[in-house]
């Protein structure tokens, strides 16, 4: 997961991926092809809002993008029976990430439900001494499922 993430996402420590897999494995998934990992999704259900699945990161290897892998990963997480029932999916996306915006809007269409978009973190919320300026993060709240 760390190797896939470092190609295209804010890279977190290898430890954070191991920790998510160990403690939030129920809301994470990987996609494999020919024995290799071609995609992953990590997420969790916020303690105070267990009806919501927050997607933290999702990434697909460039060689298999546009083939429905990310959509399958999201559907797989949402399709499982959960207690309490899952009603919303949330994720944050930067405004320039057209692929990711397309992914979550397409998910909402497929599940025949609403997608509400609002700014969760402004660009000014991020430290100004990081190497690259960080865009705002727009929250996509999809549901009710």
Ligand X SMILES: CC(C)(COP(=O)(O)OP(=O)(O)OC[C@H]1O[C@@H](n2cnc3c(N)ncnc32)[C@H](O)[C@@H]1OP(=O)(O)O)[C@@H](O)C(=O)NCCC(=O)NCCS
Based on CB atoms, which residue is closest to ligand X, 68 or 85?
A: 68
Q: Min. distance of Cβ 9 from ligand X in angstroms?
A: 5
- Beta carbons of 21 and 56 less than 8 angstroms apart: no
Based on CB atoms, which residue is closest to ligand X, 4 or 86?
A: 4
Q: Which residue is nearest to ligand X (CB)?
A: 102
Give me Rg for the CA atoms of the chain: 15
Q: Min. distance of Cβ 51 from ligand X in angstroms?
A: 21
Distances (CA, A) of 31 to 9, 73, 94, 135: 17, 7, 24, 28
Q: In the chain, what's the furthest Cα-to-Cα distance?
A: 44
Distance CA 87, CA 32 (A): 27
Q: Min. distance of Cβ 111 from ligand X in angstroms?
A: 12
> Which residues bind to ligand X, rule: CB under 6 A?
8-9, 57-60, 65-71, 97-100, 102-103, 106
Q: Min. distance of Cβ 77 from ligand X in angstroms?
A: 13
Based on CB atoms, which residue is closest to ligand X, 103 or 138?
A: 103
Per the listing, tokens 């996402």 go with: 9
């Amino acid at each position: 997961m760390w190797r896939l993430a470092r190609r295209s996402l804010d890279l977190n420590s290898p430890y954070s991926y191991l920790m998510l897999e160990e403690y939030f494995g129920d809301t994470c998934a990987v996609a494999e092809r020919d024995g290799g990992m071609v995609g992953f999704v990590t997420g969790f259900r916020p303690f105070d809002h267990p009806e919501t699945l927050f997607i933290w990161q999702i990434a697909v290897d460039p060689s298999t993008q546009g083939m429905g892998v990310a959509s399958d990963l999201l559907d797989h997480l949402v399709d499982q029976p959960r207690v309490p029932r899952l009603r919303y999916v949330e994720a944050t996306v930067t405004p320039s990430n057209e692929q990711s915006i397309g992914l979550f809007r397409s998910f909402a269409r497929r599940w025949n439900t609403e997608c509400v978009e609002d700014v969760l973190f402004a660009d000014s919320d991020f430290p100004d001494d990081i190497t690259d300026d960080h865009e705002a993060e727009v929250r996509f709240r999809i549901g009710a499922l």
